[in-house]
Structures are given as C-alpha cells and as structure tokens.
Amino acid sequence: MTTAQTSVTQGEIDSRYNKLKSEGEGSGYFLNPDIEVTKELVKGLLINERRYGYMACPCRLASGDKAQDLDIICPCDYRDADLSEYDTCYCSLYVSQPVVKGEKSIGPIPERRPKDRVRKKPESNVQKGLSALPLPVWRCRVCGYLCARDGPPELCPICKAKKDRFERFI
C-alpha cells in the first residue's frame, strides 16, 4: 500500500470528526474531549478505511478480512460494555458523559476481544430460531426499536428514550 493510499488530509479528519461527534451525541455517545487525541484516532479510522475498506478500530490490529474483523469495526462490539464499566472504550475514542463533564478521568482498561483461536467465527445465515440468540433482545417501549446485547442502551438511537424505557423482549 502506498503512502498516498494511507494518507489523509486535515479536512478529511475534521469532517469525519464532526460527523462522528454529531451522530454519537445524537445517540447518547460522546467523543473524547481531548480533541488532539480524538482526531489522531479519527485519522487512524480513516487510514484503516482506506487500507481495508472498513473503519477498523485504530487501537487493534485488523486482519484485513472483514468477516474476521466485524467485531472491531468502529463502533466496535466492545464499546458499550467498556463505557459501562470503565467510562471509555478501549481506544478512548468514546467516553461517558461523566468523563466529558470532567467528573471522571480515563484510565487503562483491559482488552475484551478474545484471542484469535477463541474468537467466534462468523456463522452462516441459517435461521436457528429466537431461542438460539447469544444475547437477550431489548425493546424500546416508546418506538419499538429492538437490539440484541447484554443490556439495554443508555439512549434509544431512534426516539432518544432513556434506558429505563427498554424492556427485555426475548
């Protein structure tokens, strides 16, 4: 890969930063308030997007095989659990509202991503029934939005209802 293929302009970084900030805050997620650090992470996302064709987390080594890297395409599968437990995602691109307000500080967090040999391989698209889902499904009682994860999101991405408006669906 040539330097031209992996170089990004400040304008591209600023544009993607603004897009991530706007989309994130609209869904209850916040970018790291340290703009210099955050824009370096955004630069890494853009470089990975050029390199692999998808925005692999800048904090993890991507394989280049999208099927193997689905769990680390930003926002990664581990973001919400990291935010809930540590107030930041692994690379610190996303942080909790208390971090944004200066009430908490960012510290190191452990890697949640399983090792290659333990990581779940993508499954076929064969229907296995709802009982075979690996995670519970949560339903927004306001708009009906469904999501499969360990717990409900802090904010519904559709209607912006708070976490307490979700109920376990399955």
Mean pLDDT of 71-100: 93
In a domain, 111, yes or no: no
- Identify whether residues 13 and 74 lie together within a single domain: yes
Closest CA to 52 of 76, 73, 31: 73
Q: What is the pTM of this model?
A: 0.71
Q: Alpha helices, DSSP H only, in the chain? A: 3-6, 10-26, 35-52, 66-69, 79-86, 97-100
CATH assignment of the domain containing 135: 2.20.28.10
Considering the domain architecture, whether residues 141 and 92 belong to the same structural domain is answered as no
Domain assignment of residue 121, yes or no: no
CA distance 3 to 97: 37
The count of domains in the chain is 2
Per-residue pLDDT at 4: 53
* Whether residue 144 sits in one domain with residue 85: no
pLDDT tens-place string over residues 7-44: 899 999 999 999 999 988 888 889 999 999 999 999 99
| Domain enclosing residue 33, as ranges | 3-100
pLDDT in tens, 51-85: 999 999 999 999 999 989 989 999 998 998 899 99
- Residue bearing tokens 């603004």: 18
